[in-house]
Amino acid sequence: MNCREVAGKLKQIDAGVGQVFGVADDNSIYTIFGRTWTRIPGALKHVTVGPAGVWGVNTGNQIFKLVGGVWVLVDGLLKQVDAGDQFVVGVNIEDHVYCLGRGATVGCRGPGLPISWIGITGSLKYYSCGPNGCWGVNSANDIFFRKGVTPAACQGNDWQKIAGALVMIEVGTDGSVYGVNDEGEVYRRDGITAAKPAGTEWISMSPCTKSKHVSYDLGHLWVVTTDGRILDCVV
């Protein structure tokens, strides 16, 4: 894995559909054009970009969607949100898990519209989805794969516990799965196919530094190190 450091510092990063967004320690929001970070108005603690658009949550756990260059407030409260497929998922401060189906996600274009978040059984601190399903980790760093998920039925139907332990996990637009453990080591899930959407094994992908957040898109693994540095790694 060949990595280069990108100027700037972030606490969280998300890549999808050819775009990269991130937030800094002061909750300022950035997106990258070429090799330059451009600040976007607003303040978020977590941002996500994917087929479902650009979404984020602030320090008050309010949810926002970027519509026409403006952050639009969305009903509900979440601490982490993911727009990795044609729908949106997230978890709240009590680790309850929710999703918003494709119809409601696409139709969310202005403030005040009623939003029907669907509750999902289980307890997770981080949840992320892609075309082959959804992955999450709980407060004990246990890893779970959600079966039966589709854009029209985002709640899925069953959990499959996966061997290993991670503090965060991200699913790329193409279905690639990466995560970070409590030692700051990066792992990729291998063996993912249509027949085996949960894959078969974890492969160590760690750069020569400890990491706290990762996101993958179009052959690039974006890494935020424990001290906030940004790495762009060609996988």
Say if CB 66 and CB 74 are below 8 A apart. Answer: no
Q: How confident is the model at residue 110 (pLDDT cuts 50, 70, 90)?
A: low
Task: Give the start-end residues of each E strand in 101-207.
Answer: 118-123, 126-130, 133-137, 142-147, 158-165, 168-171, 177-180, 186-190, 201-204
What are the beta bridge partners of residue 32? 37
Q: Residue 197: what pLDDT?
A: 96
Domain 8-218 fold is Methylamine Dehydrogenase; Chain H (2.130.10)
pTM, rounded to two decimals = 0.95
Q: Residue 175: what pLDDT?
A: 95
* 32-87 pLDDT per residue, tens: 988 899 999 999 999 999 999 999 999 999 999 999 999 999 999 999 999 988 89
* 17-35 pLDDT per residue, tens: 999 999 999 999 999 988 8
Q: What is the average pLDDT across 181-206?
A: 96
What are the beta bridge partners of residue 159? 146
Given a cut of 80, whether residue 108 has pLDDT beyond it is: no
